[in-house]
Amino acid sequence: MAAQRVFPLSCVVQQYAWGKMGSNSEVARLLASSDPLARISEDKPYAELWMGTHPRGDAKILDNRISQKTLGQWIAENQDCLGSKVKDTFNGKLPFLFKVLSVETALSIQAHPNKELAEKLHLQAPQHYPDANHKPEIAIALTSFQGLCGFRPVEEIVTFLTKVPEFQFLIGDDAATQLKQSMSCDSQAVASALQSCFSHLMKSEKKVVVEQLNLLVKRISQQVAAGNNMEDICGELLLQLHQQYPGDIGCFAIYFLNLLTLKPGEAMFLEANVPHAYLKGDCVECMACSDNTVRAGLTPKFIDVPTLCEMLSYTPSPSQDRLFPPARSQEDPYLFIYDPPVPDFTVMKMEVPGFVTEYKVLALDSASILLMVQGTVTASTPTAQAAIPLQRGGVLFIGANECVSLKLAVPKDLLMFRACCLL
């Protein structure tokens, strides 16, 4: 009998405090749809669904004909399923971690190190930096999704320095003047001025930060109560972040970083050293298989300000430049491909209209993980003994070079995402 190379997975849910609560969470709703035995607790956060082999969330195999219990164990003994190039390039391991995130309160302001820095940090402080891998990632919105990403154009930051005296106070006059003067200089001078300003802010004394933040919150609250619109200084967002993280230096980062609101299907790609923070909404996320994060605010966790200020990419750009549009497939009218400039992962989105009775999932020279966000199908392959029912929230592992046919059980549109590695 041919070995099973396509099978369903039961994936790990992470209940981090920032996640949406109970059935408000897309993670919880996907879990409830795919597992009739799942019980959703309305008073618990459902933050992330992990689909992959990471030791902190190795997916369980839902096929009793397979002796291995988890996907990580199975791949270790069936490395050919990765695809020849993937197997050799990534030492017989699945190179990506695929996730769904449901964000209620802001995640920390953070950046992920490149490979060289990741190796160094892991050697120096393995308790804070648990592995030696880089962690580029892409976030694709499932609902309206808000995040901070990359440095704003300098003109915008300078405008905030003028309109928000509390922000200017923390930066200091010298650094603020340097930034204003850099606007007529080359990109190196801009980067140097930006680093100086950001470092001044992040290294401010806690007591001074709290004083200035309280002044700003009071001023915005009074203006809002009087019926004035404070959007020119992101008033509503500042109040929201201060409520979530009172007195936190990260509240001021909104004046440095681009604010993006992604519509469903829109994406942002976060390469190494780009500062970012997810604020609210649901998304699909894919990343290199790593758990390395350098944090600097909006968090109760370990903060490493010197490393962050040193490592960041101080390249300002308008917010629309941070969007990462997919390419439409030439062969398949229902397929969109998000292929960032890193070898570790690619994400495909498939939107199949309900009138299509059968849909063929392309065979790839890469192992892949398929998530069903919307729709009900039965999946079959030439090697499988029986069809696999798959509904909303269902997750399917597909070995390299396996062709999967999906028969639509009901004439309703399908929405699927598939993570793979196209070398």
Binding-site residues for Zn(2+) sit at 110, 112, 137, 276
Whole-Å CA distances, 115 to 118, 134, 272, 288, 292: 5, 5, 9, 11, 10
Residues 288, 295: contact at Cβ < 8 Å? Answer: no
Q: Binding site: what residues are annotated?
A: 110, 112, 137, 276
Checking 117-121 for CB contacts under 8 A at 24+ apart, the result is 117/272, 117/311, 118/290, 118/292, 121/292, 121/294, 121/307
306, containing H or E segment = helix 305-311
What values do phi and psi take at 286, rounded to 5?
-135, 145
Residues 366, 400: contact at Cβ < 8 Å? Answer: yes
Question: Nearest CA to 369 among 49, 21, 136?
Answer: 49
Which amino acids are annotated catalytic? Answer: 295
The structure tokens listed for 149 are: 């990403």
Residue 12 backbone class (left: φ over 0; alpha: ψ -120 to 50; beta: rest): beta
Residues whose CB falls within 8 Å of the CB of residue 292, separated by 6 or more in sequence, listed in order: 112, 113, 118, 121, 122, 129, 130, 131, 133, 134, 135
